[in-house]
Amino acid sequence: MRIVACSLALVFCVWAQPKRPVQEIRTGAGVVRITPIRHASLMLEGGGQVIYVDPWSQGNYEGLPAADLILITDIHGDHMDQKAVARVQKPGTVIFAPEAVARTITTATIIRNGETRTAGSWRVEAVPMYNLKRGPSEGSLYHDKGRGNGYVLAYGGRRFYVSGDTEGIPEMRALPNIDVAFVCMNLPFTMPPEEAAEAVRAFKPKTVYPYHYRNSNTADFEKALAGSGIEVKILDWYYQ
């Protein structure tokens, strides 16, 4: 009876795990695995390292490995979440974040727009993310220039871009040689799918994943990129 009970419990645990839409990207140094978690949160695995972007308590981290590197983009609660950071970190976890985040998460190493750091086999560049016109009131923006970071990660000859919360800014449109892009789209905080697609057409990544897209129609994004030669992959970032 004890063996049967344990077996049933094991089956229940397997069933209880969320069905994560994991992707694999081949690089010159091996496969990179991409796991969407929730909204702006995702996990990258490659070169024996685990990287989390914007861990958030609304995501389900059950069964996922601890972080070697955490990247935080901005101070808003769906990006900077101390409880979620504590959930995924371990002794020796490195955190890269903009200065505004490091005032709260004081163990973070500051990286500013235009700066580059390395973590194991990964090269991390902080790039701008900001609003051009959208804000909570006249004369203010949801995301001021220089406060937050998008990131370009280089590994195995591939370049991965994580936009953070941004509109289709000139710095995004000028990004060179991006293989895989994660691009935000949601109003009123960032931009609608059609604007996101216009910016993506400018920098021409090989593959683009819409993320941070709550209440947006990703089909509109895909339609706007039809015929561009850019592969659009729609994953469910809200599967939990």
Asked if residue 181 is part of any domain, the answer here is yes
Q: Is 86 a residue whose pLDDT tops 90? A: yes
In a domain, 11, yes or no: no
Parent domain of 55:
20-232
Over residues 23-45, the pLDDT tens digits come to 999 999 999 999 999 999 999 99
CATH of the domain at 189: 3.60.15.10
Indicate the average pLDDT of the chain. 93
Contact by Cβ (8 Å): 74, 56: no
Report if residue 10 sits inside a domain: no
**Is residue 91 a part of any domain in this protein?**
yes
166: alpha, beta or left, given left = phi > 0 and alpha = psi -120 to 50?
beta
Between 231 and 5, whose confidence is greater? 231
pTM given for the model: 0.91
Question: Is the pLDDT confidence value at 217 over 90?
Answer: yes
Angle 100-102-103 (CA atoms, 0-180°, nearest 5)?
A: 70
Q: How far apart are CA 33 and CA 160, in angstroms?
A: 12
Mean per-residue pLDDT for 127-141? 95
Number of compact structural domains in the chain: 1
Asked if the structure places residue 170 within a domain, the reply is yes
Start-end of H helices in the chain: 2-16, 82-88, 99-102, 170-173, 193-203, 218-224
Give me the pLDDT at residue 5, please: 42
Q: Is the pLDDT of residue 16 over 60?
A: no
Nearest to 192 by CA among 178, 206, 170, 210: 210
Is 213 within a domain?
Answer: yes
12 found inside a domain: no
